[in-house]
Chain A
Amino acid sequence: MDSNKKYWKGLEELNKTPEFVEKNKHEFAEPIPIEDVLTGGGLAGATPRRDFLKALGFGVGAVTLAACQKVPVHKSIPYLIKPEEITPGIANYYTSTYEGHAILVKTREGRPIKIEGNPNDLLSKGGVSAQAQASVLDLYDSNRLKSPVRDNTEYGWSQTDNFVKKELTAIKAGGKKIRIVSSTISSPSTLAVIADFIAQYPNTKHVVYDAVSYTGIIQANQNSFGKAVLPHYRFDKADVIVSFGADFLGTWISPAEFIRQYVQNRNNKSLEAKKMSRHIQFETGMSVTGTNADVRMPIKPSEEGIALVNLYNAISGTTLPGSKKLNNSNADKAITIVAKELLAAKGKALVVAGSNDVATQILVNSINSLLGSYGTTIDLDGASRQYAGNDAGLVEVISEMNRGEVDAVFFLNANPVYDYYKSKDVADGLKKVRLKISFATYADETASLCNIIAPNHYYLESWGDDNAIEGYYTIQQPAINPVYDTRQAEQSLLLWSDNPVKEYYTYVRNNWDKNLMAKGGLSGQKGWETLLQTGFVKEAEKPAGTYTFSHDLNAVAQTIIDHSNQIAEGNKMELQLYQSVAMRDGKRANNPWLQELPDPVSKVTWDNFAALAPADMKKWGYVDGDLVTIDANGYSVTLPALSQPGQTQGTVSVAVGYGRTSAGPVGLNVGKNAFPFYSLRNGTFQASAPATLKATGDNSPLAQTQTHHSIEGRNSIIKETTFKEYLKNPASNSGKDEEHKTYSLWDEYDHPAYNWVMAIDLNACTGCGACVVACSAENNVVVVGKAEVMRRREMHWIRIDRYYSFNDNGEGGTTREKEIAKLEDLDNVRVVYQPMLCQHCDHAPCETVCPVLATVHSSEGLNHMAYNRCIGTRYCANNCPYKVRRFNWFNYWNDSRFDNYLQNEHTQLVLNPDVVTRFRGVMEKCSMCIQRIQAGKLKAKIEKRPLKDGDVKVACQQTCPANAIVFGNANDPNSEVSKALKSERTYYVLEELDVKPGIGYQTKVRNISEIEA
């Protein structure tokens, strides 16, 4: 079976636009001004000889003078009194917690420099999301507040305390309301502090809301089962997963955990056990979850509710009132097939919906109840505490403020002026409040309207704890002294409420001693020390209880249909709001690592955009980057349009989390704020609305990393098969059956001791991008900014290539070239992600063209790059078939033009001291974390033992929540990587070039069933 399946990186390539064809002919993206030099005022000029001699003389003189520089005297400043646990040059690791995940903080000489997963973490087993990886950079952000602020001027802590306490006493006597507004707090100690505060000031209420809300699910569970909780979903126990717009691999609830669960039934191990889950996604915009689905059905937001009603009908065999067929025959057909599959997998099925509508979620509950999911794939007892916001609560507070009933309001990790849909209401309400206090670390949109900003510690400077899911408690300990004159918010609340405990550390300690340590069987000082070592305690897992749904659904169905009709108003477009995988709700907008992380699907950096279906773009004559004004819910923004294959026709998707107006220099005015598009319906925030679009006539190009390189029609980059084919022949489509005689021009290299190789499972990789950020943190990879990304100069050592292909409708992954034209259905595209990094070829084409031998082969199978030897000819990059080499066009770390990307003296503290920073004019690329290989070998030598498999973990492998990357020594037949590479699915990218790459990929397998039409 041959693979003529056509893959394309972008629509330019697919459509062969004249610009693309023209560009593709050239070696360089932008023309090089050789012609200008050779003609015109170049060499043929009037006095070239004299000018040449002048320039030569000046040049030689200047170089000589510049060289006559005294060697600088280097100072060496040791500790005055060295802390016992620190040895300069050796990293210390501290357990801590990030959003409920147990993590390890790597510190060097007292500075946190990297976040690593705690291998025993219950949620993601050592996997770490891109956000957590990037969070370490924010610690050193010089734009954080450096002291308390009162009315925009710096204010001392004691003055702040006096002022706040006097005010609070007066407010307490006055009897008006005090409100604490926060995003979800899952820390038991923080919640206890707030409870103590409320006890001291009884007119206080704690209001919890989330920028991107899950109130719908929580209230639906209250209605259906009397438990107002966010359930703990178990994708690992599901054989059939159906998702209606829930981006659970990208942004929904707990993606790093869900990726691990999801991949467990799809990775190589599972495939070898002849088992693979099936995943069907119904959604509007192309999400990272949708791209990973076996079958993806584009539907409009207005169709989502109706589709669910139809699914219920099909599963229950009844007909709810108001049921109607969709205008979308494909989706209708899919619903009936999906219903059959779900019923067949009863007890191992899971239906999730991303909607925040209570009625929709009640319907989903009833479907899951019919499928017997409660107690198996949904755990309501060991519930998640990651989101507990109540939308109505925030709305209530804002109206209270506007009515002048509130005298004091506190904002803890909350920024409603930015992320509440009626920002002006909040700002107006705040004017009527006597005492406004924000604990923000930046002067954000809300904090800048407050009297007092009492800046909170960063989480790496704080004591604390977390409780992401029932029975799982993680501890947070500081890994560094506070960088600025900040104070932990809990500490401030303790002081202001005259708590007998004055130190928050003592408070946390007491809380654990009294309540939490016993849950893990720990006690006393010894128990505390053990806890700080392990990072968490967990209660014995209780079996999840089964719940049955037994309510009338008629009213629910009616509400859903009404809602759908509202969205599908007239002939308008339908707007869908989503969170981008990198930026999420925008709280980390000032993080350049995240801003430069390409969106997994669109590959856009440094912007949000209006994603439109290619057919719509064509209809209206838009091209990528054309500015369109979107008008919905009485708010409008102007954004560049992007043709997004897979986007449902008649819809437009916009990411929230952009358009911060009061963030640091990195996030300021990047993109446009889409939160005001939200609307309140039945007490919850809704992310879809009817919208109108209008082109402004201007164009603002997007910084995409997608079409930088073309695939030149090669079909040996991506190999894909179906589960059906795989069961017949595990090597199906991997190219194993195509034997060729090979001849080599080069001598073979010896790998006497180690042969470092990698295996990447394309079926496990979800494209989340955590590896990209982890690599940047580990290897001091610079951020270059939007303008440079547009010049194709991003520096990431590892990138995730995204390839589209047409849906072949279950024809076994094969499509004849001539048939492709007929199949151009851009609404139904499939996507394969491929992490691409230096392949460390044994016959590396880069090595043979380097004139100065700056890149050479090692006896351990690595392709070394000696930066100090490189003279910047860039021959190697041109000769690299994988295009993984990156050139330093600037001296990024010492160039004021790149200061904005947090490349300044503060953030230089985050650099990994074991990896050198590269200078202007030097080529760089993935080194397979050679610093880790060397450190691993040295450790083994010092301990006088052979190097074991797993001693060395590279940064991308370590952070991958899906464990898609395996690294190790191919000389050891028992190593994980040797076993992985022995898999029948293994193939090498561009194998026909015979460059003998060191990274084997395993074919993408899709579970496409036969009954699909």
Chain B
Amino acid sequence: MRRISFNLKQYSRSVLLIACLAFLGFSASAQGDAAKGEALFKAKCTACHQIDKQVVGPALGPQMTSETDDKFLVKWIENNQALIAAKDPKAVAIYAQFNQSNMTVFPEITDADATNIIAYARTQWKTDQAAAAKVPVNAAPVETGPGSLVIFALIGVIILAFIIILVLNKVISTLERLLLKNQGLYVEEVEVEKAPVDRYAALKKLAKNKKLVFFVLICGTVAMGSWTWVTLWNTNVHTDYQPVQPIKFPHDLHAGTMKIDCQYCHSGAYKSKNASIPSLNVCMNCHKVVKTESPEIHKIYDALGYDPATTKYDSTKARPMQWVRIHNLPDLAYFNHSQHVKVAGLKCQTCHGPVETMKEVYQYSPLTMKWCIQCHKRTDVNMKGNAYYENMIQVHDLIKRGQKVTAAAMGGIECGKCHY
């Protein structure tokens, strides 16, 4: 079944794309409407094409300008596979050039639509080139603001200057005092010695007050004790742990602004014990075309050995991406994501916090056993519509007795349920 639907999907996609291209060709020959073409281009073609550079498919600007046979282009856009099947030499050449990857067929694109797309591609390419010609070749790189190094250096210089000023001031005052002394104008302050004697005396008096000493000692012990207690309890608890990651991946943008479902990337959470960090091919689903200029995205390309100019992968240059693990559950505790996400229906945020607002992810929950058990004791088992629980005598007994059906009541806080 899966295979059939997969085939269908592939087929329909190529149909769409071809129709789109064919339409482009037709409209160009008929001097089509570039404005209409732009709308169509953005709707149908940008998944794989750009005007000025090669993405999945060829750069359409130069390709469509150099190819003057509009009829061919229109046919190609509408149904490229028919052309290839008919062994059209040009079509076969393109097919071979792009590693025999199929372009989508677009049956819904009419000849007029295709002509419009072609017109748009050509005019856009012309304007782009004209604009490019105006810009000098060795244009200065865009000012991106001072780097962090510069800022640190500045701060350093300021601090240094401040210290120098202080030192110089001190020197000046010493010199002045010396000058005054020499001139006999400086009067030594004789009373100075008395003041500390008084102060120590007060301290000594306080020290003799046994009640006070006792009180202070008690306070100190209690303070130290509670500090030790709290520190020990929090040993190896890393709430708010926020390490620097190799790629500055903004969860707030992806999960927040873009509202991408967590499981799109962390697909394991539904099926497996590991939520799994997405492999980079998941990133490439979008970032082959989205934000290709960003240096952060280029880190993905580098890791994959992907060259955005040629859109080729070079596996010899690939190297693994080393993320820093934030949620470190010890080996001795078994945790299964699917049990909590799929069966219990928990939201990711319950444990991971407001990830959709985090620019960089940090550890939200303490991940201590106490924290686990508290939740197991308080949370009702999500058994609605789940025949596993509905047919369980234990559950019925609990309900009959008027007790809550929590994970704990179902044995969820027994040692061996997590430690094996």
Contacts and interface: CB of A to CB of B under 8 A. Distances in A.
Contact of B387 (A915, A930, A944): A944
A1009 B267 CA distance: 65
B323 A75 contact: yes
A78 interface: yes
Contact of B276 (A78, A854, A859, A860): A78
A90 B276 CA distance: 11
Interface in A54-100: 71, 73-82, 87-90
A78 B339 contact: no
B338 A88 contact: no
A862 interface: yes
Nearest to A75: B322
Contact of A76 (B272, B323, B420): B323
Interface centre among A77, A80, A940 (most CB of B within 10 A): A80
A941 B339 contact: yes
Interface string B262-292: 0000011001111011111110000000000
Contacts of B236: 71
A753 B414 CA distance: 14
Nearest to A942: B342
| Interface size class, chain B | 35 or more
Contacts of A875: none
A284 to B, nearest CB: 46
A87 B271 contact: yes
Contacts of A82: 279, 281-282
A867 B332 contact: yes
Interface in A941-964: 941-947
Interface in A901-916: 914-916
A868 interface: yes
Contacts of A916: 331-332, 334, 419-420
Contacts of B328: 74
A914 B335 CA distance: 10
B321 interface: yes
Contacts of A107: none
Contacts of B318: 80
B325 A76 contact: yes
A858 B419 CA distance: 12
Contacts of B394: 752-753
Contacts of A509: none
B419 A934 contact: no
Nearest to B238: A71
Contacts of A947: 388
Given A88-B268, A88-B272, A77 B320 contact: yes
A80 B416 contact: no
A89 B388 contact: no
A89 B272 contact: yes
B304 A80 contact: yes
Interface in B217-248: 236, 238, 243
Contacts of A942: 271, 338, 342-343
A931 B420 CA distance: 7
Nearest to A928: B416
Contact of A930 (B273, B332, B416): B416
Nearest to B324: A73
B184 to A, nearest CB: 60
Nearest to A947: B388
B416 A864 contact: yes
Interface in B289-341: 303-304, 318, 320-325, 328, 330-332, 334, 336, 338-339
B278 to A, nearest CB: 7
Contact of B414 (A856, A868, A937): A856
B402 to A, nearest CB: 16
Nearest to B381: A941
Contact of B280 (A81, A856, A915, A943): A81
A866 interface: yes
B21 to A, nearest CB: 29
A946 B323 CA distance: 39
B336 A78 contact: no
B391 interface: yes
A848 to B, nearest CB: 16
Nearest to A930: B420
Interface string A530-557: 0000000000000000000000000000
Contacts of A937: 388
A87 B266 CA distance: 11
Interface string A760-802: 0000000000000000000000000000000000000000000
Nearest to A865: B416
A914 B332 CA distance: 10
A938 interface: yes
B417 interface: yes
A864 B180 CA distance: 87
Nearest to A940: B388
B69 interface: no
Interface string A862-893: 10111111000000000000000000000000
A591 interface: no
Nearest to A860: B411
A213 to B, nearest CB: 46
B308 to A, nearest CB: 16
B192 interface: no
A78 B321 contact: yes
A88 B268 CA distance: 7
Contacts of B277: 76, 78
B319 to A, nearest CB: 8
A938 B332 contact: no
Contact of A941 (B321, B323, B386, B397): B386
B272 A87 contact: yes
A164 B343 CA distance: 60
A858 B414 contact: yes
A914 B415 contact: no
A376 interface: no
Contacts of A75: 322-325
A753 B304 CA distance: 50
B388 A866 contact: no
B393 interface: yes
A347 B282 CA distance: 66
Contacts of A858: 411, 414-417
B272 A753 contact: no
Nearest to B389: A941
A865 B414 CA distance: 10
A945 B243 CA distance: 42
B410 interface: yes
A77 B323 contact: yes
Interface centre among B281, B321, B336, B420 (most CB of A within 10 A): B420
A76 B334 contact: no
Contact of A87 (B268, B280, B411): B268
A361 interface: no
B401 to A, nearest CB: 11
Contact of A74 (B272, B282, B324, B415): B324
B272 A859 contact: no
Contact of B339 (A76, A81, A938): A938
A727 to B, nearest CB: 39
Contacts of A931: 334, 420
A946 B391 contact: yes
24 contacts: A71-B236, A77-B323, A78-B323, A80-B279, A80-B303, A81-B279, A88-B272, A89-B274, A752-B393, A753-B393, A856-B414, A865-B415, A865-B416, A866-B419, A868-B332, A868-B419, A914-B273, A938-B343, A941-B339, A941-B343, A942-B271, A942-B338, A944-B388, A946-B391
Interface of A: 71, 73-82, 87-90, 752-753, 854, 856, 858-860, 862, 864-869, 914-917, 927, 930-931, 934, 937-938, 940-947
The 5 closest A-B pairs by CB, nearest first: A864-B416, A89-B272, A82-B279, A752-B394, A79-B279
Given A78-B323, A752-B397, A858-B416, 18 more contacts: A78-B280, A88-B274, A89-B268, A753-B410, A864-B416, A864-B419, A865-B415, A869-B419, A914-B273, A930-B416, A938-B338, A940-B388, A941-B343, A941-B389, A942-B271, A943-B388, A944-B385, A946-B388
